[in-house]
Amino acid sequence: MKDFTEMMDAARSRGPCRAVVVGAEDDAILLAVEEARRGGIIQPILVGDRRGVAESARKLSIPVSSYRVVEARSLKEAAAEAVRLVAQGEGDILVKGLIQTADLLHAVLDRGSGLTEGRTLSHVGVFLVPASERFKEKFLLVTDAALVISPTLAQKAEIVQNAIDLAHRIGIPEPIVAILCALETVNTSMPATVDAALLAKMADRGQITGGKVEGPLALDNAISVEAARRKGIRSELAGRADVLVAPDIEAANILYKALVFFADAVEAGIVVGARAPIVLTSRADSARNKLYSLALGALARR
């Protein structure tokens, strides 16, 4: 898969994905959902205030009468109801509408929700970077910019596994994962380098599967074979990463936003690790970006 058009084609070819929208009484999300529906990517199920949804839909000339709409009296109820629908097999993915991310995740992580399997949830961003020779026609994955603040080693291992599993869905059969640090050597006063070395070894020993993991690496020697060579790094994986794993939420979030705001990258993002992917578009996302995230969610469904 070399771009988002191919991603949307792939999503479409799996047939419409039943996307359960939490808090659907919101213009921006309705527009995105309708565009994805018309594109044959999703079949929306709207959960929220029925009157609010109908009002927004009328205003935007969206034929909401052909959608399934499920009434909820509050956003909390909407979240619980949406999670129930997905857990019961009536929906494939969750889509955040007019609800706080924390409230939606809370409903997903609820013990009785049926959507968690005890695995760490993490956010993965999928990028095309116009100024990068490597990533202008090949996806770059970045994780975790949104969920786990300061992951433990065990959580990092799950974050890596989540990203590998998503990479498979978007046409990267054996992704190379770089564990990013400020440098490429193990330094016991830099815990990120210690975790990185451990994650690489865990993958060597089969504790992480489906991809190859290398670290510690700095960003330059993760994505540039030339930079890795100059540093004298002896590794077949250095410089060839498909997936960049940042040491914590700050580093990941800053990388994520640098790609969008400084490198004009095009991006889709979802939360993985639950039984159903969760699409968390935000007000800041463009319409195009929301559409791509819905396609990514549709591809990531079970």
Q: Where on the chain is the footprint of a second copy (CB under 8 A)? A: 129-132, 135, 145-146, 149, 180-183, 189-190, 192, 218-220, 223-224, 227, 230-231, 246-255, 257-265, 283-284
Q: Would you say 43 or 224 has its CB closer to a second copy?
A: 224
Q: Would you say 42 or 196 has its CB closer to a second copy?
A: 196
Q: Would you say 26 or 92 has its CB closer to a second copy?
A: 26
CA distance 18 to 37: 10
The owner of tokens 């909820």 is 72
Q: Would you say 3 or 220 has its CB closer to a second copy?
A: 220
CA distance 33 to 287: 10
Question: Least distance from C-beta 272 to a second copy, angstroms?
Answer: 18
CA distance 3 to 171: 11
Question: Least distance from C-beta 16 to a second copy, angstroms?
Answer: 31
Q: Would you say 45 or 181 has its CB closer to a second copy?
A: 181
CA distance 35 to 285: 15
Cβ–Cβ under 8 Å, residues 193 and 183: yes
Cβ–Cβ under 8 Å, residues 181 and 279: no
Cβ–Cβ under 8 Å, residues 59 and 104: no
Question: Least distance from C-beta 279 to a second copy, angstroms?
Answer: 19
Cβ–Cβ under 8 Å, residues 213 and 243: no
Q: Would you say 1 or 183 has its CB closer to a second copy?
A: 183
Cβ–Cβ under 8 Å, residues 44 and 33: yes
Q: Would you say 153 or 182 has its CB closer to a second copy?
A: 182
Question: Least distance from C-beta 2 to a second copy, angstroms?
Answer: 18
46, amino acid identity = L
**Residues 92, 93, 96: CA angle, nearest 5 degrees:** 150
Question: Least distance from C-beta 159 to a second copy, angstroms?
Answer: 15
Cβ neighbours of 236 (radius 10 Å): 11
Question: Least distance from C-beta 264 to a second copy, angstroms?
Answer: 5
Question: Least distance from C-beta 25 to a second copy, angstroms?
Answer: 19
